Amino acid sequence: MTRNPTISEVAKASGVGRATVARTLGGYGYVSEATRKRVLTVADDLGYRPNRLAQSMSTGSTRTIGLVIADVSNPFFGDVVRGASDTAMANGFDTLLVSTYEDVGSEVAAVKLLVDKRVDGIILSTAVRGMDDIGHLQIAEQHSIPIVLLDRSVPRVQFDSVIINNRESVRNSISALISHGHTRIGYAWGPPVAERPRWQSGLSDAARNDLWTDGERMMGYLDALAGEGIELDIDLVMLGEKNEEHAAAEVSRMLGLADPPTAFFCTETEALTGTLSAIREASLSIPKDVSIMGFDDSSWAAVFEPPISMIKQPTRELGVRASNLLLERINGIAEDPRIEELETEVIWRSSIGRPLHVEK
């Protein structure tokens, strides 16, 4: 009848000491079978529920991991979260989720909060780029809370990371487009304008290495062009805001060029829908007039008319791996930081053809 029976109420009600109750309920130490039974039934009758907060206070472990990502409502992250939290849960951990919307300030606040809540570890898809401050990562480290980086690494520091072979997969796909005869390939979307000097020519690979997912993909595009001796035409790269509307506008712009693209490579789902929208608007047909290739396979891509070729990421697996790395760290398996690079898979469908007017 009391509202939140504690361990000592159970003790009182069953006529034993608190420690005995703690032992039976905790399943450790010696307890006579008789009293064990009794305590158990009494606890059940009283509706006893252990207070995990108090447990955490004395054990120093919350059995909770923090998951900091850009945006849960983005299908990519939705799948990542699923993989990560399922794996965590299967190991007795639950997950505190925070979305940062690519805002470094929010990320810093989130990590601090998670540290304060004493999570046992953090999986982080960081918003940090280039030379941004990483004090929050150090705070976690200082509290010996392990961090695993997901989808985006921070080359300056060594953390366990799980990433995708972005650069290589884009390079290969673009090369394939080129071997189909395309030389004018529109690209939606590119990295932030602020990073432009970094991926454009004149930088060492080492400097370029401190790039993000989008930077990596852009590098793949550049690699492929360079490999085939095609010069970069910056007019074919979408810069600026990253949303469907802007993608549509930029693709429209490109289609209006004197020498328009005969193919488009889209690095995200929204970039793809924006592109498709612009192509639709221009009454062009795929793949007769333009070829299309996207990133992140979705079920609708297969039923689209025509079905769209996609680079498919092992999205859920990304989360699973991150959780596993984190759990190993939490369990004190202290090796050197590991970086796992997962492979993408290209799903060829009929959205790719030969350009109408092959350049001489």
Partner DNA sequence: CTGTTAGCGCGTTCAC
Partner DNA sequence: GTGAACGCGCTAACAG
Q: Which residues bind DNA (CB under 7 A)?
A: 4, 6-8, 15-20, 22-23, 25-26, 28-36, 48, 50-51, 54-55, 57-59
DSSP string, 131-180: T---HHHHHHHHTT--EEEESS--TTS--EEEEE-HHHHHHHHHHHHHHT
Q: Which residues pair with 6 in a beta bridge?
A: none
Of DNA, a second copy, none, which one sits near residue 299, judging by CB under 5 to 8 A according to partner kind?
a second copy
Residue whose CB is less far from DNA, 7 or 122: 7
- The least CB distance from residue 42 to DNA, in Å, is 13
Among positions 9, 25, 91, 97, the unique one binding a second copy when judged by CB under 8 A:
97
Distance CA 254, CA 91 (A): 50
The answer to whether the beta carbons of residues 148 and 337 sit under 8 Å apart is: no
- The least CB distance from residue 303 to DNA, in Å, is 52
Of a second copy, DNA, none, which one sits near residue 79, judging by CB under 5 to 8 A according to partner kind?
a second copy
Of DNA, a second copy, none, which one sits near residue 40, judging by CB under 5 to 8 A according to partner kind?
none
4 lies in the binding site for a second copy (CB under 8 A): yes
Among positions 15, 37, 300, 331, the unique one binding a second copy when judged by CB under 8 A:
300
- The least CB distance from residue 329 to DNA, in Å, is 20
Among positions 276, 325, 326, 330, the unique one binding a second copy when judged by CB under 8 A:
276
Rg from Cα positions in the chain: 26
DSSP string, 1-28: --SS--HHHHHHHHTS-HHHHHHHHHT-
Cα 313 to the center of its chain, rounded Å: 11
38, 124, 233, 333 from 160: Cα distances, Å: 48, 10, 37, 12
What string marks each residue from 215 to 254 as x (binds a second copy by CB under 8 A) or -? -----------------------------x----------
Q: Which helix (H) or strand (E) holds 239?
A: none
Closest CA to 45 of 56, 37, 53: 37
Among positions 33, 73, 131, 333, the unique one binding a second copy when judged by CB under 8 A:
73
Closest CA to 339 of 209, 166, 169, 160: 160
Distance CA 16, CA 38 (A): 10
Which residues are at the interface with a second copy (CB under 8 A)?
3-4, 47, 49-54, 56-57, 62, 64, 67, 71-75, 77-79, 81-82, 85-86, 89, 94-99, 112-113, 115-118, 139, 142-144, 244, 269-270, 273, 276-277, 280, 298-300, 302-305, 316
